[in-house]
Amino acid sequence: MYRINKQDAIYAMSPENKPVLTVLSGSTVVFETCDCFEDQIRTADTDFGELDWNRINPATGPVYVEGAEPGDMLAVHIQKIDIAEQGVMVTGPGLGVAGAEFTENVIRMIPVQDGHAVLSDSLRIPINPMIGVIGTAPAEESISCGTPGDHGGNMDCKQIREGSTLFLPVNVPGALFALGDLHAAMADGEVAVCGVEIPGEVTVKIDVVKGEKWPLPMIINEEHIITVASEVELDKAADRAVVNMVHFLNEEAGMDKAEATFLLSLAGDVRICQIVDPLKTARVELPRKYINSRIL
């Protein structure tokens, strides 16, 4: 079992990043992660102006996976997400969907107690630990860890959680995989511009998959097979997640496109991941039972 400390962080997914660890396909790696503010906020009276905004959305890594070549897929099995005992939320003018409703920034420290995020004495929300930023290096460009895309990145998708396998593209030799930005809890939309932002540790097993051309990123867990797409406009993100699933069902599950489209119209829920990042992210969730188990 390998381990990467949170001091080994990147702020963009880039082919120029130097790997901090090299592993064989099939290896298990523990990533220690900062929260999205790189743990700079310790108390609710922290001055926003004193934060170093160059240190936002760090991702721990990257890891070079031996044998991963452009055109392969990376299968990232999320085995365990351990979170700290306290997280933080922020909102304010220009932040999130309701940013125009605020005249000043608000910081709230959020204790995690007995499996709940404690927003107040009367508002205790069950936790759903998840990974906000997780991806591989794009082929040529450098993409900020605050932005999602076909390489993964800041997808803020609550299905990227313990028990899920995330499939990502390999765009450069070794893939250069990294992750960070854990949330103790988050709802679809992430409307405040954050979930319960929290440090933690993530244990993943990383496999290189050769010879498959899936429309990535995709997620498979015990219940669903999921396509994920990010675009500037949410409508287009949702459309592309649907089309990606039609292509997957057509090319991998042997359905003709009409049958696949009918199936999605009846059983494929189109959902929002987040609507607050530079690109918006949508997903389509199809119950696994409708898909030939040969491919899963």
Q: Residues interacting with Ca ion, by CB under 5 A?
A: 36, 132, 154, 156, 181, 197
The two structure tokens encoding residue 107: 């910081």
Q: Which is nearer to Ca ion, 96 or 174 (CB)?
A: 96
Q: Which is nearer to Ca ion, 230 or 261 (CB)?
A: 230
In this complex, which beta carbon is closest to Ca ion, that of residue 195 or of residue 268? Answer: 195
Nearer to Ca ion, 87 or 138 (CB): 87
CA pair distance 275, 295, nearest whole angstrom: 32
Task: Render 213-246 in DSSP notation, one character per residue.
Answer: ---SSEEE-SSEEEEEEEESSHHHHHHHHHHHHH
- Residue 175 C-beta: closest distance to Ca ion, Å: 21
Nearest-approach distance from CB 121 to Ca ion, in angstroms: 25
> Residue 263 belongs to what H/E stretch?
helix 257-267
CB of 266 to Ca ion, least distance (A): 32
Of 181 and 231, the one with the shorter C-beta distance to Ca ion is: 181
Q: Tell me, what amino acid is at 255?
A: M
Minimum CB separation from Ca ion for residue 76, in Å? 17
> Residue 249: which H helix or E strand, with range?
helix 234-252
Distance from C-alpha of 183 to C-alpha of 193, rounded to nearest angstrom: 12
Rounded Cα distance, 92 and 166, in Å: 32
**At closest approach, how far in Å is the CB of 94 from Ca ion?**
17
Q: Let me know the angle formed at the C-alpha of 292 by 290 and 296, rounded to the nearest 5 degrees.
A: 105
Task: State which residue, 154 or 244, has the beta carbon closest to Ca ion.
Answer: 154
| CB closer to Ca ion, 68 vs 198 | 198
Nearer to Ca ion, 175 or 192 (CB): 192
* Cβ 181 to Ca ion shortest distance, Å: 4
169-192 as b/e: b if 16+ CB within 10 A: bbbbbbbbbbbbbbbbbbebbbbb
- Token representation of residue 288: 């696994």
- Minimum CB separation of residue 224 from Ca ion in Å reads 21
The H or E element containing residue 167 is: strand 165-169
Question: Residue for token digits 């119209």?
Answer: 265
CB 249 to Ca ion: min, Å: 29
Question: Cβ distance 174 to 65 under 8 Å?
Answer: yes
